[in-house]
Structure 1
Amino acid sequence: MPNLNTPWGDRFFFDLFKTGYVSPLYKRPIRNLLTNDILFDCADTEKAPEVNGISVIWDVPEYLDVHLKQLDANITVSKIRQYKGYLMHIAPFKNLDDFLAQQLSARSRKKLRSKKRNLESEHEIRYVFYYGNIEKEEYHRLFDAFYGFLEERFEEKKTVNNNLGKWDYYRDLVYPMILEKRASLFAIYDKDKPITIGMQFHLSRTVFSYVQSYDIAYSEYNMGDISTMKRLEWCFEQGFDTLDLSMGETDYKIKWCNHHYDLYFHVLYNRKSPSAVLKYKILMSKLQFKQYLRDKDILGKRFKMDKFKYWLRNLSS
């Protein structure tokens, strides 16, 4: 369990999907409010741990039913809007065609199907979902290709991808999760060559699309859109009802997602502790200022941190 008396705390959303961990500060169960589906539940009789200083829980999405346990009377809780998230809520739709008809324009649907048809007629295309089973050798081959796709794609975009520095961690993490059906890999192959790969995490009927990329040699086919369409089709077939693309506003997410939500920081501090109060005020000012910049389309649009990191990295190399 992390130290609850430091300002770094947990990343609620990512911890929940990637490791099945929920801070002991929160009640069980955790539900998807869109579907009333229980995502996390376990026997929990322990009281909320003491917060002697200040603690921050990151990335709490508003579409999950999340409640803090009874806290000490000296503990104050603030909830600060953080990022906007995007998901596809597909439970109300009969099938993929029904969803596409309501979410995409007729022109977009025609273009998507044309790109897919061209891809399949000009190459020997296979679509494979690895969910419950994958050969270890093929798993490592896909992870090697995946790394290369991300590296090339983000070099093309002139941005930094934070996942690349943790690639060995994900390589070790995901394989047993696939066997347990808590994660999946989706691959599009041209003959035996992977050209698009996506990594997903699963909880009950909710799928969290964590990262995907493709071989930039196939960019003309709009591989991101084809991948999303095939993953949606698979979600309908498997009985999933939510495909979450998570935080960050992009044209791609706006195009595909029919539900937008906010993620929040939960900031807890002991108001009887002068040092905790001071840290809280400094932290709150920082978080509120960053959100102000996001709301004004400065941070994340006119100024992008991943592009700035890319510039700094190349400046020092």
Structure 2
Amino acid sequence: MFLKRLLGFKSDNFFFTYFEEDQVPSYYIVPDKAEDSGQIVYKDFHSVKPWGTGLIFCIPPYLDFGQLLLREGYSAITLCYRSGYLLDFAGFESPDQYLKKQLGSRALKKINRDFRRLDEKHVVTFEAFFGEIEKKSYQRLMDAFQEMIRDRFAENADEHTALQRWDFYRDSVFDLILIKKASLFVMYGNGVPISLALNYHKGTVLDSAVTTFKNDMASYGLGKLMLVKKIQWCFEHGYDKMDLRWGDFEHKKKLANRVYTFKNQIIYRKGNIIARMRAQVLAFLLKIKQQRQ
């Protein structure tokens, strides 16, 4: 907070703004010639003071509209950021072919065994809410979702990013499901939710936002099984990419066939010396912070 006040900047997570809020920060403009861009909604950031700076972080290197351009009057310092994990299905004919390539035949056989073992004891069914869902069902599933996350991360639940943003998710996801910009995937055991996943949809990219499962059933590898269900769904519905976001977890490293680098952009008013100096100081401090991590 002190650094924000000192340097006078506004910050925003581009990935959240783009996938979860369906907007693009107004520092940018999407080229008119971009294909399949649809109606672009801009999130207002023009209130930044002329001498101030803006920090936009977590910009992925791929976008369904191709590229971003800075609006006239702005300059930016661009920094490399954390790694992102992407499943690119181009060239693969089936989910099994993709999984075998990434995990190997032995691991794929184990996953299938886990599915059978789970189904033998719990009668497993799967449902994807995408385009329609009843309000009562939505509320019930979101309550179960929140409770599962709390149970899994009981010792540090307050630090879990999804729980910090839960009010936003609860208030916004229902409408996004109806217009097919978000989905809820549910795995049931004997009719009771045992794993849930929240996803966002942009073009032919599925953003795997939050996945959780019943803590007392962790031995079945439910998190991995839900990811497999997502991959299968992507192939069935013509999605060519699935993004696992950031976080250096082993399952992401194994499943992703593309590791990309997010960008940070420190944006300032062109021609404003004070703003440029503030941007340079912020860039220096961010580089030091990254080196220490």
- With the shorter chain as reference, the TM-score category is 0.7 to 0.9
Counterpart residue number, 1:309: none
Please give the alpha-carbon distance, in whole angstroms, between the structure 2 residues aligned to 1:153 and 1:50.
40
Paired with 2:191 and 2:41, the residues of 1 have a C-alpha distance of 46
Q: Deviations over 1:241-279 (max 9, x none)?
A: 111111121101001111111111111224654542442
Stretches of structure 2 that go unaligned for 5 or more consecutive residues are 1-6
Contact 1:88 1:244 (C-alpha < 8 Å) held by counterparts: yes
Q: Is the 8 A contact 1:200 1:210 kept in 2?
A: yes
User: What TM-score do the two structures reach when normalised by structure 2?
Assistant: 0.87
Match of 2:202 in 1: 203
Q: How does 1:1-317 map to 2 (within 5 A)?
A: 6-29=8-31, 38-39=36-37, 41-42=39-40, 52=50, 53-64=52-63, 65-69=66-70, 71-72=72-73, 75-155=74-154, 160-270=159-269, 272-293=271-292, 299=293
Cα 1:152–1:30 shift into 2, 3 Å: farther
Alpha carbons of structure 1 residues 43 and 277: separation in structure 2 relative to 1, 3 Å: closer
| Unpaired runs of at least 5, structure 1 | 294-298, 300-317
Work out the CA distance in 2 between the residues paired with 1:50 and 1:62.
25
Aligned to 1:248, the other structure's residue is in SS state coil
Q: Which residue identity lines up with residue 16 of structure 2 in the other structure?
A: F
How far apart, in 2, do the equivalents of 1:194 and 1:147 lie? 12
How far off is 1:19 after superposition? 1.7
Other structure's SS at 2:244 match = strand
Instruction: Give 1:126's aligned amino acid.
Output: T
Q: Write the letter of the residue equivalent to 1:227.
A: M
Residues 167 and 69 (structure 1), Cα distance of their counterparts in 2 relative to 1, 3 Å cut:
closer
SS of 2:154 mapped into structure 1: helix
Whichever residue aligns with residue 10 of structure 2, its letter is W
Shift of residue 183 of structure 1?
0.4
Contact 1:197 1:214 survives alignment (8 Å): yes
Q: Deviations over 1:52-107 (max 9, x none)?
A: 231121111112333323533xx432111111000111132111111112111122
- Once residues 159 and 106 of structure 1 are traced to their aligned partners in structure 2, the CA distance between those partners, rounded to angstroms, is 39
Q: Identity rate of aligned residues, in percent?
A: 30
- RMSD (Å) for aligned C-alpha atoms: 2.6
1:6, CA displacement in angstroms?
4.7
Shift of 1:200: 0.2
**Structure 1 Cα separation of the partners of residues 146 and 41 of structure 2:** 38
- TM-score, length basis structure 1: 0.81
Residues 184 and 200, structure 1, Cα contact 8 Å, conserved in 2: yes
The alignment covers a number of residue pairs equal to 281
Distance 1:6 1:236, change over 3 A: farther
